[in-house]
Amino acid sequence: MTRFSVRALAVVVLSVVTVSGQAPANGWPQFRGSQNLIGTTQAALPAQLKVQWTYEAGDAIDSSAAIVDGVVYVGSANGELHAVNLSDGKARWKYKASPDGIGESSPAVANGLVYVGDLAGVVHAVDIATGKAAWTFKTGSEVKSSPVVVGDKVLIGSYDAHLYGLGARDGKLAWKVQTEGYVHATPSIVDGIAYIAGCDEVLRAIRVADGKEMFTLSSGAYTGASPAVQNGRAYYGTYENEVLAVDLAARKIVWRYKHPQRNFPFYSSPAISGDRLFVGGRDKMLHALDLKTGKSLWTVMTRARIDSSPVVSGGRVYVGSSDGKLYVVDAATGKTAFEFEAGGPLSASPAVADGKLVIGSADGKLFCLGA
């Protein structure tokens, strides 16, 4: 067994994800597909994507979808959490969260509940069978972070500068950790440790069991992106126009990537597949980097910034752009294989399951693409 396989197997035992850290072929249960946020899936997609259905959410969709047991869950700016059949796009139920809206918080599904945060600062747990609230928890400010369910806890950040650990079944506060800035990003969980990059320019490692802060590391820059964690390294972009790789054991930055000409922030969260990292930039580019060295392998130019976080499936990278297009790019060469015109800006990230890709747009349309 290779060194990679052994380390990946350890992640399975301790973090309850697949051997590779990928999302399973039949589901996309949370933001980025799995707890370590690497944005890859075992699901295969057809070479040519066609629209299977379009669902009208009634307002902008910045939330990235979750897909579990043939149901798509996504939030919209009118404050509704939508449950929609993956097969035909028909609504199962709508849950009204807050008139303030649901922003970038993307649902997570576990324990027969779907969890999401809203811009009024409330975390909601909704029964997937009935669409009724099981519990709610009020934070001190808006929630744009996406929930991650780890055992009997759900972790989520708030703009009140705290990361919360809540009881997954009852919503009771287990612990909260104060930071020095908004907690915008989603925590990445590996081996019982939550890693979160912050608006206070700090990467924090927090023990899930009790909220104990294990260590902090200065990123040197404001960070809105969520870290992807694999093989002992965390990878994330910053508002100082860099992508960082952090050795978590040594607690040091091992490489920095900055485009030599186009200096724009990285708000997109990276995807990891094989020996490559893929991330969108506000420089309008999709970047492919060597995972070990941070060296640029290729870039693809779009017509607007990329805040959408890419997903990798079957040797292809799928990412939305604010130019209103979904781009499908060959992971090895950077050659664009396909473009889908959504019409409205795509800042939400793709979700992939059962041979289908789902993504929402700023004009309130939820698209399902497949064979």
Find the mean pLDDT for residues 261-274. Answer: 97
pTM of the model: 0.94
Res 8: pLDDT: 34
- In this prediction, residue 20 has a pLDDT band, given cuts at 50, 70 and 90, of low
Adjacent-strand bridge partners of 233 = 230, 247
Portion of the chain with pLDDT greater than 90, in percent: 94
> Containing domain of residue 261, as a range?
3-370
Secondary structure (DSSP) of 55-90:
EE-SS---SPPEEETTEEEEE-TTSEEEEEETTT--
CB contact at 8 A, 323 and 304: yes
Res 5: pLDDT: 35
> Average pLDDT over the chain, rounded to whole?
94
Selected residue with higher pLDDT from 14 and 39: 39
Indicate the number of domains in the chain. Answer: 1
H-assigned helices in 176-325: none
Res 15: pLDDT: 31
**Quick one: DSSP state of residue 33?**
S
Lowest mean pLDDT among 9-13, 27-31, 177-181, 316-320: 9-13
C-alpha to C-alpha distance for 355 and 46, rounded to whole angstroms: 7
C-alpha to C-alpha distance for 307 and 319, rounded to whole angstroms: 9
pLDDT tens for residues 321-371? 999 999 999 999 999 999 999 999 999 999 999 999 999 999 999 999 999
pLDDT tens for residues 201-250? 999 999 999 999 999 999 999 999 999 999 999 999 999 999 999 999 99
CB atoms within 10 A of CB 249: 7
Res 4: pLDDT: 32
Res 17: pLDDT: 37
Q: What is the CATH number of the domain that holds 184?
A: 2.130.10.10
- In this prediction, residue 65 has a pLDDT band, given cuts at 50, 70 and 90, of very high
Find the mean pLDDT for residues 31-44. Answer: 97
Find the mean pLDDT for residues 142-164. Answer: 98
- In this prediction, residue 12 has a pLDDT band, given cuts at 50, 70 and 90, of very low
Task: Say which residues have a Cβ less than 8 Å from residue 86's Cβ, sequence separation at least 6.
Answer: 67, 70, 71, 72, 353, 354, 356, 358, 368
Q: Is the pLDDT confidence value at 10 over 80?
A: no
Residue recorded with tokens 């002992």: 232
Q: Is the pLDDT confidence value at 120 over 70?
A: yes
